């Protein structure tokens, strides 16, 4: 009997083999490369903490860090703003809007389009000379001359942020609505009897009880925001133009490791992004649950 029990290890061995070969081993190898000048091929030398010292003094890393937060900040405000407005509308017990399933599908559809396709589409739509956006704004009289959306730092960052928000607000809406459906309707009925209006019910009942879902959405959005890559890579020249305004941390990682074959420093940037994401995820968690230590949500 004991001998047969060992057969179970044979069946789970493929999973652990794949897990270690394709996940654990690359992670550890990348950590090792942070202490080398590896170029992707040939011999390499151990450089100690030189790559880490460069990471904390690299002006490009500082620019990429600020750009990433700017783009993510604009994105998260619009993304969660739209999601909360839709949750407020579709969760209202007075309006009782039907066909919620249809709208969930409709809002989630942009998330199903590949980022490469979206990047190419908006690169054409935002083109200074032939883009549809400029044509429409010009024809209705809002502008006198075409706007170079992707040639100006602020408009380029805003464009990337709004595209991200358009793609992901449906995902946030789905999670928040799932949380709302888990809230007992008795709370809302009791509040309605007590004379609470829809804004009071949303602020005093819905939002506090959605805190775990909000934390999940915030952290996953933060992780995704720190990893923004495809749009900045494909919507302009792939180097961060205009004027490095679209140079994000992952784009810097890609350029260092792939374009310039500097795997040692590229690996260090990767771990830098990992550490930054962990730190700010912990901060988000602490902020979200700070009220619990003070006696809970009122």
Tokens 């819905």 correspond to: 206
Residue 27 and residue 267: Cα distance in Å, rounded?
Answer: 10
Superfamily (CATH H level) for 50-294: MetI-like (1.10.3720.10)
> Residues 215, 172: contact at Cβ < 8 Å?
no
CA-closest candidate to residue 242, choices 140, 160, 122, 143: 160
What is the distance, to the nearest Å, from the Cα of residue 19 to the centroid of all Cα atoms in its chain? 25
Name the β-bridge partners of 36.
46
C-alpha triplet 291, 296, 297: angle, nearest 5°: 85
How many angstroms separate the CA atoms of 16 and 30, rounded?
Answer: 20
pLDDT attached to residue 295 = 45
pLDDT of residue 201: 86
pTM: 0.87
Domain map of the chain by residue range? 50-294
b or e along 260-276 (b: 16 or more beta carbons within 10 Å of the residue's beta carbon)? Answer: eebbbbbbbbbbbbeeb
Q: What angle do CA 22, 28, 31 make, to 5 degrees?
A: 130
pLDDT score for 42: 84
> If phi over 0 gives left and psi between -120 and 50 gives alpha, with beta otherwise, what is residue 40?
left
For residues 178 and 213, the answer to whether their CB atoms sit within 8 Å is yes
Query: What gap in Å lies between CA 118 and CA 125, rounded to an integer?
Result: 10
User: pLDDT tens string for the chain (298 positions)?
Assistant: 566 667 788 888 999 999 999 999 999 999 999 999 999 888 899 999 999 999 999 999 999 999 999 999 999 999 999 999 998 888 776 667 777 788 888 999 999 999 999 999 999 999 988 899 999 999 998 888 899 999 999 999 999 999 999 999 999 999 998 898 888 888 888 888 888 888 888 888 888 888 889 888 988 998 999 999 999 999 998 899 999 999 999 999 999 999 999 999 999 999 999 999 999 989 888 887 765 554 444 4
Q: How far apart are the C-alpha atoms of 286 and 278, rounded to whole Å?
A: 12
Say if residues 167 and 118 touch (Cβ distance below 8 Å): yes
Cβ neighbours around 61 below 10 Å, total: 22
């Amino acid at each position: 009997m004991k001998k047969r029990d060992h057969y179970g290890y044979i069946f789970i061995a493929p999973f652990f083999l794949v897990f270690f070969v394709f996940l654990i081993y690359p992670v550890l190898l990348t950590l090792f490369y942070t202490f080398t000048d590896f170029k992707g091929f040939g011999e390499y030398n151990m450089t100690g903490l030189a790559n880490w010292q460069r990471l904390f003094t690299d002006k490009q890393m500082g620019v990429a860090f600020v750009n990433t937060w700017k783009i993510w900040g604009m994105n998260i405000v619009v993304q969660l703003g739209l999601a909360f407005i839709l949750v407020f509308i579709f969760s209202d017990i007075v309006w009782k809007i039907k066909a919620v399933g249809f709208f969930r599908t409709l809002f989630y559809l942009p998330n199903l389009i590949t980022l490469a396709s979206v990047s190419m589409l908006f690169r054409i739509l935002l083109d200074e000379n032939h883009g549809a956006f400029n044509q429409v704004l010009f024809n209705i009289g809002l502008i006198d001359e075409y706007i170079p959306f992707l040639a100006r730092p602020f408009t380029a960052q805003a464009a990337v942020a709004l595209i991200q928000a358009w793609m992901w607000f449906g995902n946030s809406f789905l999670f928040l609505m799932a949380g709302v459906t888990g809230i007992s309707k008795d709370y809302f009925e009791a509040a309605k009897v007590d004379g609470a209006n829809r804004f009071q019910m949303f602020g005093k009942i819905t939002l506090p009880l959605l805190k775990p879902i909000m934390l999940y959405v915030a952290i996953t959005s933060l992780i995704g925001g720190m990893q923004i890559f495809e749009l900045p890579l494909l919507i302009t020249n792939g180097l961060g133009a205009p004027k490095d305004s679209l140079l994000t941390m992952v784009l810097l990682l890609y350029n260092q490791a792939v374009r310039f074959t500097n795997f040692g420093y590229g690996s260090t940037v990767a771990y830098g992004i990992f550490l930054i994401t962990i730190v700010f995820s912990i901060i988000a968690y602490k902020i979200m649950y700070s009220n619990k230590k003070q006696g809970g949500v009122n």
